[in-house]
Structure 1
């Protein structure tokens, strides 16, 4: 299960661009909590605390507890906006969640045992097709990452989603094919070497 974090917030009565600009001048970030069969709740977050949490990793996959004027909401960040010029955080959307909530989440892919890949040992290059995989899972059981084992993967070999051990109750959102996560490709020089070796073997066989 993914780790959690907590943020403090205050509710806000005024919404709109003017109110949002005023909040940002006060080093606050406008946000909203929605879902859970309740009305949307506009809130204001501390700019420094929220920005540090965003850059700490896992912002979109970790459950969060937001303390709104003493009342706590369990949520998951579903979207955020950055200023196109300054790249600063300007708005966050949070979804209320419970143990019964299932949702689709992009989970990062981690690779292990590259030193045990025959293809990489021979000079092959790891070609990552998917840096994240969208998974459907309970909101309280979001994996922090999925692990791809490269041991035994040779040149021109590939790793598919079926090779990954996913936790119980967790499934990929793509179900109509065994999609590729990564391949081990031979660089140009090695391709020529392999081609020459293949031709020589064919000549010997003749």
Structure 2
């Protein structure tokens, strides 16, 4: 009797195989062999380990009713997945942040006689994937003044621009390592490090790919432009009523003291902002060791932008225009 019931159970499960096929979890059904299946001959009469290995529906049934026989395999696979995820997160968190928030970019030395000019730089861009550029500017700390012609992999420049956007990219400080030969570039050996700021980044007019990127030598005390971002917008009555900022200056020129990390953005405090109010320099929060440049301080009317729009702002502007007429 028990054998007949077991055979009928297996038959009914096989009939439901196609109807349940999309609902069966495939976690245990891939590449199962009888060698990986425990001995199940004594559990259900008429059911062998080979039958369980070849029938995903029966495999699902046995795992649901006899989980203790599959617990070791399940735990091992789950632990492997958890280990992969954990290690990936740990590796990502373990990546050391660059010192003083200064990232590095490798580049190659370019011959100014044979690799200068539009016609000569075209195959460099299209075939080799290299972007021409020049390191220029003076650095009184090391006495460097000469111009150095370089060519940088487009993928590296493009990834940095995608990571930080154009405004943030041209305001960041990089350690540019100049290698003399492709062998040094591949082996990451040798090379001269120049601390620079990207300048004169040119984009292709059609596909917006980087076409040219120059570099200005940087030293502590040289002004750089840092983009601004709004914080505490929910505490502004104007911004909560569909108001918006009309940007006049998207960046602020600052001077960073030596040994201070280069800020990626400058936060602008928006608490209490009303319609038609102008955001000026007093609402910009400068980190310790970062201060506005003399050019910004001499500009008495320097502003981030006014607050306009929204239901309240739009109504006020409309009424004012009607009164003037």
TM-score bucket of the superposed structures, by smaller chain:
0.7 to 0.9
How far apart in 2 are the matches of 1:49 and 1:81?
15
Higher helix share: 2
Give the secondary structure class of the aligned counterpart of 2:120: helix
* 1:110/1:145 contact within 8 Å kept: yes
Find the residue that maps to 1:39 and give its secondary structure: coil
Q: Deviations over 1:69-125 (max 9, x none)?
A: 1221111112211111222111111011223x412x33211111111112334x251
Name which structure has the greater RCO, CA cutoff 8 Å, separation 6+. Answer: 1
Partners of 1:106 and 1:132 within 8 A in 2: no
Of 127-136 and 63-72, deviating more is 127-136
- Answer yes or no: is the 8 Å Cα contact 1:126–1:184 preserved in 2: yes
Residue 257 (structure 2) pairs with residue 134 (structure 1): no
Return closer, same or farther for 1:153/1:94 CA change in 2, 3 Å cut-off.
Answer: same
Aligned to 1:62: 172
Instruction: Give the corresponding residue for 1:17.
Output: 118
> Are positions 1:166 and 2:166 aligned together?
no
| Equivalences for residues 88-127 of structure 1 within 5 A | 88-99=209-220, 101-103=221-223, 105-121=224-240, 123-127=241-245
SS of the residue 1:23 aligns to:
helix
Q: Which runs of 5+ in 2 are unaligned?
A: 1-98, 139-143, 180-190, 320-325
- Structure 2 length normalisation: TM-score? 0.52
Question: Tell me, which stretches of 5 or more residues in structure 1 are unaligned?
Answer: 197-206
Q: Distance in 1 between matches of 2:278 and 2:270?
A: 9
Distance 2:234 2:130 in 1: 47
CA distance in 1 between counterparts of 2:316 and 2:204 reads 50
Question: Are the equivalent residues in 1 in contact too, given 2:199–2:215 (CA < 8 A)?
Answer: yes
C-alpha deviation, 1:138, in angstroms: 3.8
Residue 71 (structure 1) aligns with: 192
State the superposition RMSD in angstroms. Answer: 2.8
* Inter-partner Cα distance in structure 2 for 1:155 and 1:170: 28
Q: Which 4+ stretches in 1 moved above 4 angstroms?
A: 139-142, 188-196
- Tell me how far apart the structure 1 counterparts of residues 234 and 209 of structure 2 sit (CA, whole Å): 39
Matched position secondary structure for 1:155: coil
1:138-188: CA deviation from partner (whole Å, max 9, x where unpaired):
486543222111111233333211232334452153323243323333546
Asked if 1 retains the 8 angstrom alpha-carbon contact of 2:242 and 2:311, the reply is no
Partner of 1:182: 305
Q: Distance in 2 between matches of 1:132 and 1:77?
A: 17
Number of aligned residue pairs: 193
**TM-score, normalised with respect to structure 1:** 0.79
Query: Is the contact between residue 118 and residue 154 of structure 1 (CA under 8 Å) also seen in structure 2?
Result: yes
Kept in 2, the 8 Å contact 1:124–1:185? The answer is: no
Q: Which moved more, 1:160-169 or 1:77-86?
A: 160-169
Q: Map 1:20-39 onto structure 2 (within 5 A).
A: 20-24=121-125, 25-36=127-138, 37-39=144-146
